[in-house]
Amino acid sequence: MQLTQPLIWLLLFGQLFKNVAQLPGFGGASYIDYLAPGVLVMNTLFSNGWSGTAYIVDMERGVLDRFLVAPARRSSFLIGQLAYWAVLTIIQSIILIGIALLVGARFAGGAVSLLALIAGAVLLGLSMASFSNALALRLRQQETVIAANVMLVLPLCFLSSTFLPTTLMPEWIQTVARYNPVNWAVEIGRQTLDAGVDWGIVLSRLGWLAALAALLGWLAVRSFRAYQRSV
């Protein structure tokens, strides 16, 4: 089951760091509250990072070439595949939010802030999926795509406020976190916890994530063209 991993993170870390939340910087929230949006974002990265592996299987078996000799529009393959990942991200996010509620998380920011979190997760997920697709189309090696997923996701999460508020981190990590797209999504998530949602933060982070998704989407399109030229 694909949600086993985030569940373990949520329950295990929720227990392990229970008392960390008494440190200043958590704003008095319980650690489960604090952790839930971060785990949602991390789960999005991990699952969307698999996207490229499907391209590799399709390239190896000639499925991609079969699509390419059909008269259907080229762009529909890329878009259709990304749509699949977007829908999956939405479903998984809703389930994770439900589970977080069950284990005691409270999202005082309300339904709209949760929708913003899901939108942020979708944009971050699309970025990750496009990156994974680009890698797959260029390098055509299953191992590389999986390794990139693992090697990228955990450091990016630790260099963000996924597990701890940045105010508790060394200064250089705070600087890195500011430019870390994972942190942008987690920052939107933080806003769901408090009744006083800072919509400025939410909208700006959504904007940056949208720009990133567009950039990496463009990279994936270029890689798709490179594949077509190499056949």
Partner 1 sequence: MLGHLEVNPIMTPRSAPAAIEAQGLEKTYGASVRALDGVSFTVPRGTIFGLLGPNGAGKSTTVKILTTLSRPDAGSASVAGVNVLKHPSEVRRVIGCVAQKNGVDLEASARENLALQGRLYGMHGTDTRRRVDELLARFELSRDADRPARTFSGGMLRKLGVALGLVHRPAVLFLDEPTTGLDPVARSDVWAEIRRLAREDGVSVLLTTHYLDEADHFVDRLAIIDAGRVVTEGTPDHLKSELRGDAIHVALDAESSLDAGRQALSRLNGRLRDLSIEGTTLHARVDDGPSAVPNVLALLDGAGARVRTVTVSRPSLDDVYLKHTGRTFGAAARSSCNPRTSPRAICERCGASRCTW
Ligand X SMILES: Nc1ncnc2c1ncn2[C@@H]1O[C@H](COP(=O)(O)OP(=O)(O)O)[C@@H](O)[C@H]1O
Using CB under 6 A as the criterion, which residues of the chain lie in contact with ligand X when the complex forms?
A: 230-231
- Contact call for residue 225 and partner 1 (CB under 8 A): no
Task: Say how many C-beta atoms besides its own lie within 10 A of residue 198's C-beta.
Answer: 14
Three-state DSSP at 34 gives helix
- Residue 37 in contact with residue 190, Cβ under 8 Å? yes
- Contact call for residue 2 and partner 1 (CB under 8 A): no
- Contact call for residue 67 and partner 1 (CB under 8 A): yes
Quote the CA–CA distance of 90 and 140 in Å, as a whole number: 28
Quote the CA–CA distance of 38 and 73 in Å, as a whole number: 37
Q: Which does 15 bind (CB under 5 to 8 A by kind): ligand X, partner 1, none?
A: none
Q: Cβ 102 to ligand X, closest distance in Å?
A: 52
Q: Phi then psi for 198, rounded to 5 degrees?
A: -90, 95
- Contact call for residue 62 and partner 1 (CB under 8 A): yes
- Residue 129 in contact with residue 122, Cβ under 8 Å? no
- Residue 45 in contact with residue 156, Cβ under 8 Å? yes
Options 17-25, 61-69, 85-93, 156-164: segment touching partner 1 (CB under 8 A) = 61-69
Q: Pick the binder of partner 1 from 72, 83, 91, 150 (CB under 8 A).
A: 72
- Contact call for residue 50 and partner 1 (CB under 8 A): no
Phi/psi region, residue 141 (left: phi>0; alpha: psi -120 to 50; beta: rest), is: beta
- Contact call for residue 71 and partner 1 (CB under 8 A): yes
Three-state DSSP at 194 gives coil
- Residue 129 in contact with residue 48, Cβ under 8 Å? yes
Q: Cβ 62 to partner 1, closest distance in Å?
A: 3
Nearest residue (CB) to ligand X, 56 versus 153? 56
Nearest residue (CB) to ligand X, 34 versus 227? 227
Options 12-20, 42-50, 66-74, 85-93: segment touching partner 1 (CB under 8 A) = 66-74
Quote the CA–CA distance of 164 and 121 in Å, as a whole number: 19
Q: Is 105 exposed, middle or buried (0-12, 13-18, 19+ CB in 10 A)?
A: buried
Nearest residue (CB) to partner 1, 63 versus 112? 63
- Contact call for residue 58 and partner 1 (CB under 8 A): yes
Options 54-62, 101-109, 193-201, 206-214: segment touching partner 1 (CB under 8 A) = 54-62
Residues in touch with partner 1 (CB under 8 A): 58, 60-63, 65-72, 229-231
